């Protein structure tokens, strides 16, 4: 069970979508969603969907965010990747809880999805 605990520590208890980070950045800069949308060349609805976790950060969007906000594209891509991995881990863990396998095998399966 120790293996399971160590893997759990890798992933956040609650995933943080990059849109949440973007919202914090907009507030810190007193920048509206509409203003950012204009800078990115996307609709305000798209920015709103991103902030609320309904859209993901693509390579193209990360590059646009880097240009508009001067925050490295890799930051946005890593944030999206970490969010995706945490969500996938939580889903896999939930699915494994319904299987009847020995505790040691359960830990191995969790390691495999990490």
Above 60 in pLDDT, residue 88?
A: yes
- Provide the pLDDT for residue 3: 45
DSSP string covering the chain:
-HHHHHHHHHS-SS---HHHHHHHHHHHHT--HHHHHHHHTS-HHHHHHHHTTSS---HHHHHHHHHHH---HHHHHHHHHHHHHHHHHHHHHHHHHTS---HHHHHHHHHHH-
In this predicted structure, the answer to whether residue 32 has a pLDDT above a threshold of 60 is yes
The domains found in the chain, sorted by start residue, are 2-113 (1.10.260.40)
Bigger pLDDT: 83 or 104? 83
Q: 104 pLDDT exceeds 90?
A: no
pTM attached to this predicted model: 0.76
* 49 pLDDT more than 60: yes
């Amino acid at each position: 069970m120790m293996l399971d605990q160590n893997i759990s520590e890798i992933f956040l208890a609650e995933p943080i979508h990059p849109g949440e980070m973007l919202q914090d950045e907009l507030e810190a800069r007193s920048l509206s969603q509409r203003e950012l949308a204009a800078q990115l060349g996307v609709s305000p609805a798209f920015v709103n969907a991103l902030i609320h976790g309904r859209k993901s950060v693509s390579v193209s969007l990360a590059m646009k965010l880097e240009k508009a906000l001067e925050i490295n594209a890799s930051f946005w891509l890593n944030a999206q990747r970490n969010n995706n991995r945490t969500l996938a881990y939580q889903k896999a863990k939930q699915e494994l809880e319904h299987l009847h396998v020995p505790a040691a095998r359960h830990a191995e399966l969790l390691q495999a999805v990490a």
